[in-house]
Structure 1
Amino acid sequence: MSGEISMIGSVILALFLAGYLGQQYLPPPKPKVIGLDLGTTFCSVGVFHPGSGEVEVIADEEGRKSIPSAVSFTNTAVLAGHEAVDLADNNPQNTVYDAKRFIGKIFEPEVLEQESARYPFKVINKNGNAEFLISTNHTFAVSPEFIGSRLLLKMRKMAERHLGVLIQKAVISVPAEFDERQRNYTVKAANLAGLEILRVINEPTAAAMAYGLHKVDVFNVLVVDLGGGTLDVSLLNKQGGMFFTRAMAGNNKLGGQDFSQRLLQYTTERVRQEFGIPLTLKEDIHRLRQAVEAAKLNLTLQPSVTIRVPLHLHNHGSSETPEGATLAPVLFQAVITRELFEELNDDLFQKILAPVKTVLAEGHLEKEDVDEIVLVGGSTRIPRIRRLISEYFGKEPNTSVDPDLAVVTGVAIQAGIMGGSWPLQVSAIEIPNKHLHKTNFS
């Protein structure tokens, strides 16, 4: 009997030794499950590498780790991501963005009409569902989940090209406030892209995983997610590796686009004052918008930036001035300071605190009870916003993870778990809170 036990022990030891040597000297298997962050403004794809335990956010051919959530239709092609954005100014009625706002939602006619008024493309009501009307060489309607599928397909192809393997399985993130229908339609979008979804994970939970909070002793986590178009604040309670969403609030009309728009309005008025002619050419507006967006990003690192934009100003669409002389191209230059940017957006920045206070009140917590403040979304890089949050809580938020990539990093970790990748991680278990409703500010 003792001989049999000894033999079993030897076999187990040999298996452990073989596993160890395999881990050390054999190339790790390619990840087969990808993590997808289908964001309102940008989306990303990541993988968890077996063996090293590292998360990699996969870049496109140009090295960009996120792609715009836009899809553009032409007579000959359907383009997604950066290629779609490049056509947005010349093909606005056929370039769809913000589709995530519409996916899986049932709209009253007047609500959908109000929502669609802000977009250059046409949104129609089909039995309470939103669809987008496209007019190329023929007119047709596409659903929000179809738009999502084109973005997910592009990210799937990015992952396959980078990894050199066929990808058919994924984990995907959704906003915490998404109901069952919205989650199902998001899964449907993935299915249209040829992907089987193994798990749907809430974005705040994914962000908390990216910060490693699923492996440490914290209880109350506040997630501030401020992206290009929306603000979402979630209060998570974690006990024993399980995440419970205690409260949610936000503003679905506040984000980086609004901050850029304030700066665009300011510079447009500067052009009118300096040259006496308003901006009318689409190409001029496009160039100035790009310069303003770049300035906003640079101001997170620098106290001031200089905008230089060549313009071809026309007077009421004519190439001549009122005096009849041809107007030569001009160079618009302006120094934009961080203080000016903060002043232009001060009222918008202050709006961020309203949902923060709401989730604390609804979660029955004092601000001193929050163990970790996690920042998600590129707009949380803005120094004034970080300062606003740290001043309110009396402590610095956790900024150890790239806020643009926090959600996709967490989703990739969960994808590694679902794929059984080594080294093993603690899985994120979410306790559904079906009685929870999101408070929205505007």
Structure 2
Amino acid sequence: MAGAMAILGSSILALLLAGYLAQQYLPPPKPKVIGVDLGTTYCSVGVFQPGSGKVEVIADKAGRKSLPSVVLFTDQGILVGYEAQELADANPLNTVYDAKRFIGKRFTQEELSTESSRYQFKILYNKGDAEFSVFANESLRISPEYIGSLLLLELKRMAEQYLGIPVSKAVISVPAEFDERQRNHTVKAAQLAGLDILRVINEPTAAAMAYGLHKVDVFNVLVVDLGGGTLDVSLLNKQGGMFLTRAMAGNNQLGGQDFNQRLLQFLFKQFHQRYGTVPTQKQDVHHLRQAVEAAKLNLTLYDSVQIRVPLSLPDSSVGGGEDEDGGRGSTVLFEETVTRDLFEGLNRDLFEKILDPVEEVLSRGHLSRYEVDEIVLVGGSTRIPRIRQVIREFFGKEPNTSVDPDLAVVIGVAIQAGIMGGSWPLQVSALEIPNRHLQKVNFN
């Protein structure tokens, strides 16, 4: 009997040793499940690397780790991401973006009419659902989940190219306020792209996981998610590895695009003062928008930036040269110095609006600002120094900025994907407690 026990013990020890040696010296297996962040403005895909325990956010061929959530329909085919974004100003009627705002959501005709007035592409009412009308050789009616599937298909291709194997399983994130129908339609979009969704995770929970809060002893977590077009604030309670969303508030019409628009309008006024006209050619406006976006990003690092954009002067007798609309005109190099103080001044009221939903979620969660253990920043617009200052001054403490805010959600989703795929070293999984009666308050 003793000999049998000794043999059994030796066998178990040998198995453990073999497992240890395999982890140390054999190449780790390929990730089996991808994590996807299907964002309103940008989307991303990541994987949890077995063995190292690190998350890799997958980049495209140009090294970019986020894909614009933009789809353009042309007579020659469908363009997705950066290719669509580049041509958006030249073909606005057939360029669809912000599809996530409409996916699975029910509208009245009046609500949809109000919402559609913000877009150049045509939005149609179909028995409570939104559809997009585009023209590519023929008139097409496109569902929001079809737009989502095209974006997810591109992310799937990026992952397959990076991993060198077919990908069919994923974890996907959704806003915490999405109801069951919106979640189901998001899953349907993934299925159209050939992805089997193993789990749907709330974006604030994913962000908290990216910051490692599922593994540490915190209780009250405030997630401020400010992206290109929307602001979402969520108050999470965490006990052990379980997250409960206690309150949500936000502004569906506040984000980086609005900050850009303020600066763009300022530049239009400066141009008009100097030349008595404003840029009208689509290509000029597109280049100016690109310069504004670059300036906003650079102002997070520098006190001032210089904008230099060649722009056309229509109907000018100086210089000559035909513009794209067939008129005669000249080209001038428009130059303007933009300081951080100027940018903050143009957007001061918008930056202060961020505190409205913050105060609302604290009120509904019956918390004072000083009872918040962690403030997590998500979304590229939270890089803006003045926004961080507003949040820091309100709470009297530094927000957590240790994770790239653009990638926080996809990193958290990829961690959950690794857990679902059984990757080692195993992480502590986050469980979400459903709160069916929770409603989001909007400050529009």
1:362 counterpart = 2:377 = no
- Alignment-derived partner of residue 81 in structure 1: 81
The residue aligned with 1:304 is 304
Q: Equivalent of 1:385, from 378, 384, 387?
A: 387
TM-score, structure 2 normalization:
0.97
Offset, 1:3: 2.3
- 8 Å contact from structure 2 (residues 233, 358) kept in 1: yes
Contact 2:148 2:189 in 1 (8 A): yes
Q: Distance in 1 between matches of 2:290 and 2:108?
A: 36
Per-residue CA shift, 1:303-349, capped at 9, x if unaligned? 00000000112159x9899xxx9642101000000000000000000
Change in Cα spacing, 1:312 to 1:210, as seen in structure 2 (3 Å) is same
- Whether 1:126 aligns to 2:96 is no
RMSD of Structure 2 on Structure 1 (CA): 1.4
Matched residue type, 1:61: K
- Asked whether the 8 Å contact 1:277–1:315 carries over to 2, the reply is no
- Partner residue, 1:93: 93
Measured in 2, the distance between the counterparts of 1:362 and 1:4 equals 63
In the alignment, which residue of structure 1 is the partner of 2:378? 376
Shift of 1:279: 1.6
Q: How many Å separate the matches in 1 of 2:385 and 2:353?
A: 16
State how far apart, in whole Å, the 1-side matches of 2:299 and 2:201 are: 33
> What secondary structure sits across from 1:408 in the alignment?
helix
Q: Secondary structure at the match of 2:216?
A: coil
Distance in structure 1 (CA, Å) of the matches to 2:123 and 2:328: 41
Aligned 8 A contact 1:309 1:332 in 2: yes
TM-score, scaled to structure 1: 0.97
- In structure 1, the partner of 2:255 is 255
Contact 1:46 1:58 in 2 (8 A): yes
Aligned to 2:415: 413
Q: Does the residue aligned with 1:309 lie in a helix, a strand or coil?
A: strand
CA deviations over 1:2-41 (Å, ceiling 9, x no partner): 2222222111111110000000010000001000000000
Structure 2 counterpart SS, 1:89 = coil
Find the aligned partners of 1:25 and 1:213 in 2 and give their Cα distance.
31
Whether contact under 8 Å (1:233, 1:355) holds in the other structure is yes
Q: Is the 8 A contact 1:251 1:440 kept in 2?
A: yes
User: Which residue is equivalent to 1:331?
Assistant: 333
Match of 1:216 in 2: 216
Are 2:401 and 1:399 aligned?
Answer: yes
Alignment partner of 1:404: what SS?
A: coil
Which one-letter code corresponds to 1:105 in the other structure?
K
> Number of residues paired by the alignment?
438
Q: Are 1:278 and 1:315, in contact at CA under 8 Å, matched by a contact in 2? A: no
Contact 2:315–2:328 under 8 Å retained in 1: no
1:89 Cα deviation (Å)?
1.0
Contact residue 281 and residue 313 of structure 1 kept, 8 A: no
3-state secondary structure, aligned to 1:125 = strand
Contact 2:67-2:82 within 8 A present in 1 as well: yes
Corresponding residue number in structure 1 for 2:181: 181
* Separation of aligned partners in 1, 2:86 and 2:165: 30
Distance in 1 of aligned mates of 2:95 and 2:256? 20
Look up the SS of the partner of 2:171 in the other structure: strand
Shift of 1:276: 1.2
Secondary structure (helix, strand or coil) at the match of 1:277 reads coil
Give the aligned residue type for 2:95.
T
Structure 1 match to 2:433: 431
2:63 matched residue in structure 1:
63
Change (3 A) 1:29 1:329: same
- Counterpart in the other structure of 1:13: 13
Counterpart residue number, 2:272: 272
Kindly provide the amino acid, as one letter, of the partner of residue 232 in structure 1. Answer: D
Which runs of at least 4 in structure 1 moved beyond 3 Å after TM superposition? 318-321
Identity %: 71
1:290 aligned partner, one-letter code = Q
AA partner of residue 15 (structure 2): L
Q: 1:111 is matched with which residue? A: 111
Structure 2 equivalent of residue 202 of structure 1: 202
Instruction: Supply the distance in 1 between the matched residues of 2:104 and 2:362 (Cα, whole angstroms).
Output: 29
Shift in Å, 1:134: 1.0
Distance 1:278 1:328 in 2: 13
Task: Output the CA distance in 1 between the equivalents of 2:6 and 2:149.
Answer: 56
In structure 2, the residue matched to 1:38 is 38
SS of the residue corresponding to residue 65 of structure 1 reads coil
Counterpart for residue 172 of structure 2:
172
Alignment map for 1:277-296 (pairs within 5 Å): 277-296=277-296
Give distance in 2, aligned partners of 1:315 and 1:103: 45
